[in-house]
Amino acid sequence: MSQQNASPTTMTITRPWRRAIALGASAVLLAGLAACSTVTGSTDTGTGTGTAGSTNCGSADEQAAITAAVNGRTLKVGFTPPILSEFYTQVEKAAFNRMNELETCYGIKWEWSRQGALNDAHSGVEAVGIVENFISNGFDAVFVCSAAPHATMQEIFKAGEAAGVNFYQFNSTEELENPSQATDPTAGLSTISNIGYDDRWQSGYIAGQYLAKALSGKGQIIQILGPSGSDWTKLRQQGFEAAIGEFPGMTIVGSADGGYVRDKGLTAAQDLLTKFPDIAAIYGENEDMALGASQAIDLAGLKHWDGTSGIITIGADGLISGMDSIRQGKLTATVDVNSVDMGTTMVNTLFQHEILGMTVAQFISVPTVVVDKTNVDWAEAKIAASQAGPGKY
């Protein structure tokens, strides 16, 4: 971790024009940023060529221009996920790799601080204190994913903004508030950008569609859900139920709270399997709970799905541990919500706005995909390459 704190004096501009002021940004800088990519483990296509594992910084003129814009600056960045877990570790590592590329190409320095909830991650209480601490310590920008109430976090972001701290939400649930940019470019949010995916249609819905296709539109399903009141649960459930509702032959017969963790997912699945022994599928709202449900199938002496019969188990996140279980036939499938692209996009968006002064989109969605045995090779390889990358802060 870099310990450099110095940064050039910046002019404070009132929202929403602060983000819009960059419309005249140089095309040279934009082209140069796009060109800087590491071929191995990077999702940027880049505009130049390079050998596997090499960093392409664009042309000499592009690199010089962007390096001049950076001007040796150090960005002090906070990172606060709702909990320190495998998924958020994958997001963070992908971010580190992109930070390393930008430092190699343009000389930017980073001071990174990670703080996540240690106790009650689902109430968001700890997140409030963490973010307020980042503000009081003069961070330039903060990446936030929090379970705290929407209105509470927006008020904190607004206060932070007044103190010169920019906020970028990631993997968040803003779609629950139905924000609109019809008349307000900020959509009423005190954030620079929100990077993630739509939990309804890019997670819950495609999980339901996968089950319906595999089961030819017929069968009973049990669900292992996150904590009652969780925004992620509400959104994924909305999408999942919409998908299942398209098939009259499919029925959700039971649900239980798995707390987003594996051991609770196991217990919840065991209880439901006792009540509903003839189910065709288990939907675990996240991957840890789905992996717990997979253990419950084994302990009950039931059969995992083999492509024609048995119980299908599907989760969501896209973890290396989940990919291994798919290979073993213990987990049928998972919705990979793309931790690699998420982490990379977070850093690109930060660099574009904080350093190049670009206007960035308020809502940025990364692609997601259902992973099973047919495509686990490339899905796992992508994450593994990112996790093996050189970034470390």
Helical (H) or strand (E) element with 6: none
Q: Alpha-carbon torsion 174, 221, 264, 328, what sign? A: negative
Determine if the peptide bond prior to 367 is cis (ω within 30°): no
The sheet that has 333-336: what strands, in order across it? 250-257, 219-225, 281-284, 312-317, 333-336, 369-371
The answer to whether residue 275 scores a pLDDT higher than 70 is yes
Rounded to an integer, what distance in angstroms lies between the CA atom of residue 244 and that of residue 215? 11
Q: Evaluate whether 253 touches 187 at the Cβ level (below 8 Å).
A: no
| Maximum alpha-carbon separation in the chain | 68
- Rounded to the nearest integer, the mean pLDDT of the chain is 88
Distances (CA, A) of 200 to 73, 122, 175, 261: 39, 19, 9, 21
Q: Which amino acid is at 253?
A: V
Instruction: At 343, list the tokens.
Output: 């982490």
Q: Which amino acid is at 307?
A: G
* 219-225 vs 193-196, strand pairing mode: unpaired
Q: What is the pLDDT of residues 287-325, one digit of tens each?
A: 999 999 999 999 999 999 999 999 999 999 999 999 999
Q: What is the pLDDT of residues 356-378, one digit of tens each?
A: 999 999 999 999 999 999 999 99
Q: What is the pLDDT of residue 54?
A: 56
The answer to whether residue 167 scores a pLDDT higher than 70 is yes
What residues contact residue 27 under an 8 Å CB cut-off, 6+ apart? none
3-state secondary structure 252-311: EEEEEECCCCHHHHHHHHHHHHHHCCCCCEEEECCHHHHHHHHHHHHHCCCCECCCCCCE
Q: Evaluate whether 279 touches 219 at the Cβ level (below 8 Å).
A: yes
Under the banding of pLDDT at 50, 70 and 90, the label for residue 33 is low
Q: What is the pLDDT of residue 385?
A: 97
The answer to whether residue 52 scores a pLDDT higher than 80 is no
Q: Alpha-carbon torsion 379, 381, 384, 388, what sign? A: negative
- End-to-end CA distance of the chain: give it in Å, rounded: 4
Under the banding of pLDDT at 50, 70 and 90, the label for residue 390 is very high
Higher pLDDT, 32 or 120: 120
Question: For the residues 159-166, what does the mean pLDDT come to?
Answer: 96
Q: What is the pLDDT of residues 214-272, one digit of tens each?
A: 999 999 999 999 998 889 999 999 999 999 999 999 999 999 999 999 999 999 999 99
Q: What is the pLDDT of residue 36?
A: 55
- pLDDT above 70 as % of the chain: 85
Helical (H) or strand (E) element with 138: none
Domains detected in the chain: 17-41+57-197+338-378 (3.40.50.2300), 200-336 (3.40.50.2300)
Higher pLDDT, 26 or 129: 129
Nearest Cα residue to 312 out of 292, 290, 328: 290
Q: Evaluate whether 299 touches 186 at the Cβ level (below 8 Å).
A: no
Q: Looking at 17-21, 124-128, 176-180, which range is the least confident one?
A: 17-21
Rounded to an integer, what distance in angstroms lies between the CA atom of residue 186 and that of residue 126? 26
Higher pLDDT, 381 or 16: 381
Orientation of helix 86-106 relative to helix 339-354, angle to 10°: 40
- pLDDT above 90 as % of the chain: 78
Please give the model's pTM, rounded to 2 decimal places: 0.87
- Classify residue 388 by its DSSP letter: T
Give 312's strand partners: 281
Rounded to an integer, what distance in angstroms lies between the CA atom of residue 368 and that of residue 370? 7
Question: For the residues 60-82, what does the mean pLDDT come to?
Answer: 97
Q: What is the pLDDT of residues 89-117, one digit of tens each?
A: 999 999 999 999 999 999 999 999 999 87
Higher pLDDT, 131 or 28: 131
| Residue 226, phi-psi category: left (phi > 0), alpha (psi -120 to 50), beta (remainder) | beta
